[in-house]
Amino acid sequence: MSRWWDKYGFRLITVVLALTLALWVKQTQAAFLSEIYYFIVSPFESQQQITLEERLTNARILELEQRVIELEQQNQQLKQLLNYQEAQPAKNITASVIGRSRDRWWSKIILGKGSQENIQPGYVVVGIGGLVGRVVQVTPHTSQVLLISDTTNRVGAVLSRNRQLGYIKGNGSSTVVMRFFDRVTDIKPGDKVVTSTLSKLYPPGLPLGQVIPGENMDDTLEVKVELTAPVEILEWVTVLPFAPKIN
């Protein structure tokens, strides 16, 4: 017997312990092993959770910072526009730009105010820097504006320094072409261009832009003009009541 025990006793004890452990695990539904697994894995999961929370927090901080910057920029632009408007008649209407077509970026914008705010077709639209365009279509809550940079647009213009008359033609960019009614010999880069008294669609004296350097400026029929109003990035504008002089 002692020989049998010496030979098989350890195996018997091992089997009994294994069966006992298996029965206990079954009865406890592996809760003990789950606890062991939890203590082994939880440090890694906790670290992953912390990392995820940090990323979300950082993303939220970046979002809030961007919103603050955006609000500051809009506030600055609106302040500049309101300062410009203080020098204008009280009937002027401040409106936000709520839409523009990507494929016609330089052609039209849509404002967030319309006939309910007494805006009418023909009203003139200005922004920071000068003339932007004119209202061509109105709904109760929106207004469509044809920009002076549109290739179909023409605006009567004059050089402020020497009063040379002509008109500007939209070029689908921030640069337009000014064409004179006669050859001009006295023209310099930086000469200011404003709307002329001959214009029927716009009041005179509104800033348009300034002449940029080009070839044959000593004797020319046309020059390039850089618009002073940044029509490509405007977010706020002022609508001026105006009755076009169309017969």
Domain ranges of the chain: 1-87, 92-247
* Nearest-angstrom CA–CA distance, 71 and 77: 10
pLDDT at 202: 92
Q: What is the model's pLDDT at position 217?
A: 72
Q: Report the pLDDT value the prediction gives residue 63, as an integer from 0 to 100.
A: 46
pLDDT computed for residue 105 by the predictor? 82
Specify the amino acid at residue 15.
V
- The whole model's pTM is what? 0.65
Closest CA to 244 of 146, 124, 138: 124
Superfamily of domain 92-247: Rod shape-determining protein MreC, domain 1 (2.40.10.340)
The C-alpha atoms of residue 99 and residue 96 are separated, in whole angstroms, by 9
Query: How confident is the chain (247 residues) per 10-residue block, as mean pLDDT?
Result: 55 59 53 52 53 57 54 65 58 87 83 91 90 93 92 89 88 89 83 86 88 77 88 87 79
